[in-house]
Amino acid sequence: MRDIISSYKGHTLFALILGILFFNNPLTIALTIIGANFPDLDHKIKKDTVYKIIIFGLLIFIILYIFKLPFYLGIIITLIGIIFFFSSHRGFSHSILGLFMLSILISGILFFSLNIIQNFSPLTNSLLNIVILISLLALSLNKNLYLIFFPLFFISLLLFNLVNITTLEIFISIFLGYLSHLILDSFSPSGIKPFSPLSNKKVYKKFGFFISLFLLIIGIYNFYLNYLREIIIF
């Protein structure tokens, strides 16, 4: 249990670094951090959280179905819970297939929720709607991160001139954060099974080293284009 509790710090820090390198919008950086904290829902100590996700998804499905709203949101939430329920620790949820599937499903939660909120919310700024959704989705984070994540996130909203994010940007940020989690786990003695459920072959730190090096090189170059070049020109 100690390893799980302490590991969230490393996953969050690595995701934050990648988020800053790849994005200049606190919304996408926040989603990167959230994506990095999802994979460990497959751990047995998180089963209570998984149960709550499934129950919550079913309730959302029933409510939306009754009011003739897009009930796909409830199906997606329930499906995410089911996947984590049946996934062994560092099994399917830590695989390449799981990476793509869960990144798409998590993005779907934001997409459908945003559509529903925009239809009924009195807020005219869709950015505020996205902030609300990210705040709700951030409940997946380790509780120890709340006091750090929320103040920094909302302070950044006040400091930066934000633009709305697209569905593709939502997916990419969650995907990047989720991938960062798999990279760090590959450095552990137990490694990960990237080809699960087709194969139980494990990969270790070599896999993590080359993937992280590739991402860092691209991220640093992107950071240079977005930030350093503007400073030099200015």
Asked whether 74 and 60 are in contact (CB, 8 A), the reply is yes
Q: What backbone phi and psi angles, to 5 degrees, belong to 197?
A: -90, 5
**Count of the separate structural domains present in the chain:** 1
What is the per-residue pLDDT for 125? 59
pLDDT for residue 3: 45
Average pLDDT over residues 110-124: 75
Q: 54-63, 75-84, 133-142, 165-174: which range is least confident on average?
A: 133-142
In Å, how far are 112, 177, 183 from 215, measured between CA atoms?
30, 11, 10
In whole angstroms, give the CA distance from residue 123 to residue 201. 50
> Whole-number mean pLDDT of the chain?
85
Per-residue pLDDT tens over the stretch 19-34: 999 998 888 888 999 9
- Give percent of the chain above pLDDT 90: 50
* Whether pLDDT at 93 is above 60: yes
> For residue 215, what pLDDT is reported?
96
Min mean pLDDT across 9-18, 23-32, 78-87 is at 23-32
Q: Is the pTM of this model over 0.85?
A: yes
| pLDDT tens per residue across span 197-228 | 889 999 999 999 999 999 999 999 998 887 66
Confidence of residue 183 (pLDDT cuts 50, 70, 90): very high
Which tens digits make up the pLDDT trace of 134-152? 777 776 677 777 777 777 7
How many helices (H) and strands (E) the chain has is answered by 10, 0
Rounded distance between C-alpha atoms, residue 105 and residue 77, angstroms: 8
For the stretch 39-55, pLDDT in tens is 989 888 888 889 999 99
Which residue range(s) make up the domain with 133? Answer: 2-233
| Per-residue pLDDT tens digits for 52-71 | 999 999 999 999 999 988 89
